[in-house]
Amino acid sequence: MYDVLAINLGGTSIKWGCPARGADFPIATMPSPKSPAELTAVLTRIRSDVARPASAVALGFPGPIAAGTTLSQAPTLWPGVDLHRFDLLATLRSVFPDAGLHVINDVSAYGAFLLARGLRDFCVLNIGSGIGSKIYVEGAEVNGPRGRGGEIGHWRDAGAPADLRCDCGGTGHVGAVSSGRGVQRFAALRASQAPERFRASLLGGRRPIDLTAEEVAAAVRAGDGFALDILAEAMLPLARATALLHVALGCERYVLVGGFAEAVGDALPRLLARGAAAHCWDSGHDWGQAFEVLRDEVRTSLLGLHHHALTRRDLTLCA
């Protein structure tokens, strides 16, 4: 059995597991390293946590990856850090010298999971710490010649509140309002602007600045009107972006992944469908069936990394 250690390095936490060791393989997690310099120690901790050495290590990285694993930045993980000279491959080799190495974008891991289950034409929308995306056409991932595709969270939307800043430092970005962290900031903004509605909601009783994305998601699941209004407005920039993908590329299926997407649940596809339908022409596309939330998102990301390593095992590295 080709044994793969799958590692998902996220903006908030790093998760790992060995899918080949059973369908219900255990998943471990810890806070993400706060800088590139701390990554070696974290990977060493992961290596010691695994009972036996893996044949391959597959890492999902939260940022653009060009040919040769050239990095640029990872705003949700290490905001403001220039990664052009950071050798991620060398860091992995220093900890796992005898393993085959695979490095892909973290959203691509979900794409690999969906490809393994027979999907061919779809878009993965990651709604977690930030916003990421990957488009697949006839089973092939579309990234552009320099691997710059998939960063829809950094498209500037004219309707996004200008005073909400994205993790990359920009303003008006989709990720500044539609991501988990963005919704958290947006909820604090709306709570301060509508204090009476805020106090009457399930979110009331605390300072707006102390609201968390998890609390907003819980209030949405409970049907709180104020939280639902916040989510609907916060998702409009992302809905407009998906409408653009539809009219530009013909994309019809959007799979929602990421911790915040899973936490919000069933309200999210409905709100995105309503927003997207309002921002493009009616060509007969059924927006009500366009969005779905992928459940058990951590496990599926690790399974996707495992599948990628198995299908690309002839490569020392895949960017």
| Mean pLDDT (whole number) for 245-260 | 96
Residues 60, 135 within the same domain: no
Same-domain check for residues 126 and 267: yes
Across the range 135-161, mean pLDDT stands at: 92
List the CATH number of the domain containing 29.
3.30.420.40
Kindly report, residue by residue over 5-26, the tens digit of the pLDDT. 999 999 999 999 999 876 689 9
154 shares its domain with 262: yes
Structural domains in the chain (count): 2
In a domain, 317, yes or no: no
Least confident of 148-152, 179-183, 229-233: 148-152
157 and 263 inside one domain: yes
What is the DSSP code string of the chain? ---EEEEEE-SSEEEEE-GGG-TT---EEEEPPSSHHHHHHHHHHHHHHSSS--SEEEEEESS-EEGGGEE---TTTSTT---TT--HHHHHHHH-TTSEEEEEEHHHHHHHHHHHTT--SEEEEEESSSEEEEEEETTEEE-TTTT-TT-GGGSBPTTS-TTSBPTTS-BSBTHHHHSHHHHHHHHHHHHHH-HHHHHHSTT-SS-GGG--HHHHHHHHHTT-HHHHHHHHHHTHHHHHHHHHHHHHH----EEEESHHHHHHTTHHHHHHHHHHHTTS--SS--GGGTEEEPSSHHHHHHHHHHHHHHHTTT-S---
76 lies in a domain? yes
Q: What is the mean pLDDT of residues 203-218?
A: 95
Q: Is residue 140 in some structural domain? A: yes
- Report yes or no on 226 lying in a domain: yes
Whether residue 90 is found in the same domain as residue 143: no
Please check whether residues 285 and 142 belong to one and the same domain. yes
- Is 249 part of a structural domain of the chain? yes
pTM metric for this prediction: 0.93
179 and 74 share one domain: no
Same domain for 301 and 277: no
Say if residue 57 is in the same domain as residue 148: no
Structural domain of 253? 117-293
Q: Which pLDDT band, with edges at 50, 70 and 90, does 317 fall under?
A: very low
Residue 50 placed within a domain: yes
- Whether 202 maps to a domain, the answer reads yes
pLDDT score for 146: 81
In a domain, 316, yes or no: no
Domain co-membership, 165 together with 227: yes
Question: Do 148 and 59 belong to one domain?
Answer: no
Mean pLDDT for the chain?
93
Q: Does pLDDT of 255 surpass 50?
A: yes
Asked if 156 and 206 sit in the same domain, the reply is yes
